[in-house]
Amino acid sequence: MAGEGLLVERDVVYSTVRGYWCSAPVGEKGTTAKLILQLLKKRPLELKMDIYKPEGDTSGPRPLLLMMHGGSFFVGHKEEKGQAGWCEYFASLGYVAVSIDYRLGYLATRKDVAAAEERALEDADAALQYLLGREDLHIDPDHIFAAGTSAGAILALRLAFRPAEGHPRIRAVANCWGSVHDLSVLELSRTAILSFQSPSDPIMPYECGYPFRTSGRGFWPPTQWFSKIMYGTKAVHDRAVALGLRAEHHPCQERGHRLHIDREGNFTPRFYEIRDSMAAFFGKESGQAN
């Protein structure tokens, strides 16, 4: 199916909820101060998604890729260049590829950070249920894939590894510098895992530890105040292999956390490597020769 044109449905509302905010620019001066003021009160929010789909053939069924941005559950948005670029590519391969916004924001306490992650998981699940209810998208419910960067990868892993009852199965997940709170969750599913991360990641632990410990961000309080220990891509991969899951791990030698986009906002060579690796890895699960 490679080479098809694509159509994009933008700003599709998939849920209405209460929260602080669900979209915020990354790295823009003054953003944090503005957002902190919004923590005073929750408000009604429309959660939106962008749906990238092949143009023309509507016979289906089509695999679904659910893509989630990073941003520490505090900033980020569905139009981020990396997520949009990957969605465009997978739509050209015949997937329905979707980038979502989800609820963001928390106070710097462990309880509030945990609640923010749970809200984001609820939203990702609502997005998945909405998409599966769209018969016009011709989604194959047996071929669902999830991917994300950083906090988005945490969400992708949580969607994939949870009690199966009442939840659609995620066949494979792309874990781009994400982590889990507890390695035992990998026993809950047979989901295949593709992982990318730099061993010198300053934000997320590569094996085991607290996030942000080596980021040099002096305004952050001691991270054990707001986070539990996290297990990064190396620890996740090793446990997946021990459990007999299909797993592939790519240690990235460049230093940094966000490896697919450079400081000027351009795609790095790693963006294309991750894209092609995802296509091959997911293709083995979906039976497509990508």
Q: What is the CATH number of the domain that holds 48?
A: 3.40.50.1820
Domain count, the chain: 1
Give the mean model confidence (pLDDT) for residues 46-52.
Answer: 99
pLDDT of residue 222: 54
Best CA proximity match to 63, nearest among 53, 74, 77, 73: 53
Best CA proximity match to 136, nearest among 62, 26, 33: 62
Taking the whole predicted model, whether its pTM rises above 0.85 is answered as yes
Phi-psi region of 83 (alpha: psi -120 to 50; beta: other; left: phi over 0): alpha
Average pLDDT across the chain, whole number: 90
- Give the whole-number percent of the chain exceeding pLDDT 90: 68
pLDDT of residue 37: 85
CA–CA dist 191, 171 (Å, integer) = 5
Residue-wise pLDDT for 1-18, tens only, equals 344 578 999 999 999 999
CA–CA dist 211, 90 (Å, integer) = 31
Give the mean model confidence (pLDDT) for residues 115-139.
Answer: 97
pLDDT of residue 224: 66
Phi, psi of 241 (to 5 degrees): -65, -45
pLDDT of residue 227: 77
pLDDT of residue 28: 73
- Give the whole-number percent of the chain exceeding pLDDT 70: 92
Give the mean model confidence (pLDDT) for residues 86-108.
Answer: 95
Q: Tell me if 251 sits within 8 A of 234, measured CB to CB.
A: yes
Give the mean model confidence (pLDDT) for residues 91-98.
Answer: 96
Q: Tell me if 62 sits within 8 A of 138, measured CB to CB.
A: yes
Q: Is the Cα torsion angle 56, 125, 67, 159 positive or negative in sign?
A: negative
The whole domain housing 127 covers 6-286
CA–CA dist 238, 242 (Å, integer) = 6
Instruction: Answer yes or no: is 151 within a domain.
Output: yes
Using the predicted structure, report yes or no on whether residue 58 has a pLDDT greater than 90: no
Phi, psi of 141 (to 5 degrees): -65, -10
Instruction: Answer yes or no: is 1 within a domain.
Output: no
Q: pLDDT grade, residue 219 (50/70/90)?
A: very low
Instruction: Answer yes or no: is 33 within a domain.
Output: yes
Exposure string of 152-171, with b = 16+ CB inside 10 Å and e = fewer, is bbbbbbbbbbbeeeeebebb
Instruction: Answer yes or no: is 253 within a domain.
Output: yes
